[in-house]
């Protein structure tokens, strides 16, 4: 059953991308739909990172003992200050590993 589900989802994903991206197909999306689709990537990424950072054991965890929250906060400040993805990644991963080690 799982393999069938994976195969069907792969087919659906391929077909939806093919219909919109193949240049010879007469299907064109309008400017309003294109503008609306610009919000899909941030929405999906937010749906991924918010539960990782703020939820622990099915409860909201915004305490100072949450290493995910502290590392994410540091990453925000470092990225705003330095504009360097490598420095942001190194700093936030270092503080996260350190906080995981001491707790």
Same domain for 53 and 98, yes or no, is yes
Same domain for 3 and 28, yes or no, is yes
Residue 30, pLDDT score: 81
In this predicted structure, the answer to whether residue 75 has a pLDDT above a threshold of 80 is yes
pLDDT, greater one: 25 or 10: 10
Domain that holds residue 91: 45-103
Q: How far apart are CA 54 and CA 70, in angstroms?
A: 11
Residue 54, pLDDT score: 95
Same domain for 21 and 63, yes or no, is no
Same domain for 29 and 52, yes or no, is no
Same domain for 34 and 50, yes or no, is no
Query: Which residue shows structure tokens 């503008």?
Result: 35
Axis crossing angle, helix 67-82 with helix 40-54, rounded to the nearest 10: 130
Same domain for 90 and 60, yes or no, is yes
Per-residue pLDDT of 15-72, as tens digits, reads 888 877 777 777 677 889 888 888 988 999 999 999 999 999 999 999 999 999 999 9
Q: How far apart are CA 31 and CA 25, in angstroms?
A: 18
Q: What's the pTM? A: 0.67
């Amino acid at each position: 059953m799982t393999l069938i589900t994976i195969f069907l989802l792969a087919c659906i994903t391929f077909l939806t991308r093919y219909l919109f991206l193949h240049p010879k197909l007469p299907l064109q999306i309008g400017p309003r739909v294109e503008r609306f689709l610009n919000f899909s990537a941030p929405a999906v990424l937010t749906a991924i990172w918010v539960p990782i950072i703020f939820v622990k054991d099915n409860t909201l965890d915004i305490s100072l003992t949450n290493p995910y929250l502290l590392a994410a906060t540091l990453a925000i400040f470092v990225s705003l200050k330095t504009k360097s993805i490598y420095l942001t990644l190194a700093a936030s991963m270092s503080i996260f590993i350190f906080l995981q080690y001491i707790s």
